Each structure stands twice: as C-alpha cells, then as structure tokens.
Amino acid sequence: MLTFFKKYKFFAVFFLILSIIIISVIYQIMIPKKVLKVYQPADVSSELVDTTLQYVKKYHTIADFSLVNQNGKTITQDDYKDKIYVADFFFTTCQTICPIMTGHMAEIQEKLKDDNQVLLLSHTVTPEIDSVAQLKKYALEKGVNDAKWNLVTGDKKEIYDLARKSYLAAKDVPYSDNDLVHTENFVLVDKKKRIRGFYDGTDPESIDKLLEDIKILEKEN
C-alpha cells in the first residue's frame, strides 16, 4: 500500500491542488457580488428633493456645472470625467459641523492619496464670503492637495441648485439670497455621474463605510 502511494504521489498532489482551485472558483461564483445602489430622486426623502424631481425613478445624474476652485481655475464635469468622486457642501467660516466634515475629507484624501480613480469636490454655500483667495487660505490651512481636492465657489443659485436638484443633499426650500444650505451629507458619485451613496460627514463610522463603498465601486468599474 505504501509503495502504491509513493508511486502515485505526484498525481495525488496534482488532483488535490486542482480540487482546491475548483472549489475556490465555485465558491467565488456562488458569493453574490457586492453592488452599490444607484440612487434616484424617488429613493430619497421628499424633503431633500425638488418637487419637479420627486417622482423620477431612473436616469438621474449630476448636472453640468462651471465653478471656480481655490486656484482660480474653472472646474467643470470634464475635470471629473471617468472619475469616482465625493462631494460635499461647506463654508469656511462655519464653526459647527464644517470643521469636522473638512477633517474627514482630509482623512479620505490621505487614505486615497495614491488612488487616481478618486477625487474630492467641496462646494462653498457662502460664495459671497468665500472668494478664491479665501478658499486658497482655507485649503492651505487644511492641507488640501490641489490635484485631488477642489474647493469651489461661484454663482450661489447654481451651487444651491446642485445641492438640491443634483446631489439631493439639502432640504428643498424656495431659493433666496439669504438662504443657507447646511448639510452634513457626503455624496458618492460614480464615473457615470450617478449617485451611489450618502454618508454622514460628521460620523467616523460613516466615513469608514464610504471608504469601503469606494472600493466596491472601483471593482464595479
């Protein structure tokens, strides 16, 4: 019997390895692939959606935009073409949730510093205060990497329309110059300009979930 096993040892090892590979492949096939939801206006609380969009169930994407970053450069969708990105809304003089959110954005920037697929985009909601110079000062204070993260200012109505009609991240109220969008939402956007997740920008656990979801989204793309 011992002689038999010695004689066919090579074949036994070969079939053992082959069996392990086959079982592994079958296991991988049977495990459902994680896929992030594509969010539509109809999926989001109606108070966060413009009344003209509340019943939209498909094809929602982030609208085209033209804003100016901390370096005075015009930023459009073309700068985010074929990129995954995280968007939020803040203002430099905010002393409540914004410092926490900016800190978490900086954490995301650091953890994904070598990941060329992912960018960040922060919109000021007080463009009348947050000039290019003010954004640049803030960017330097917060360690913003210009190649990774744009802080943008511009037309206030355009920014507020983006928050409410594109990113679905702020309460839908009639626009006015005295209005102030104040939202903790981080929004994950895929390479097709679709919303793939909402996260509490003040919550460390939510940030961890965002980072996990980015990895899932990268595999999908």
Annotated binding-site positions for Cu cation? 94, 98, 182
- What DSSP string runs through 10-49? HHHHHHHHHHHHHHHHHHHHHSPPP----B-GGGS-GGGS
Helical H segments across the chain, by residue range: 2-7, 9-30, 98-111, 132-142, 156-161, 204-220
Q: Report the distance separating Cα 8 and Cα 22, nearest Å.
A: 21
CA of 124: how far to CAs of 68, 189, 190, in Å?
Answer: 11, 18, 22
3-state secondary structure at position 100: helix
3-state helix/strand/coil string of 84-98: EEEEEEECCCCCCCH
Q: Report the distance separating Cα 53 and Cα 177, nearest Å.
A: 23
Taking residue 221's Cβ as centre, other Cβ atoms within 10 Å add up to 11
Q: For tokens 């205060």, what's the residue?
A: 129
Known binding positions: 94, 98, 182
Which residues share a beta bridge with 95?
none
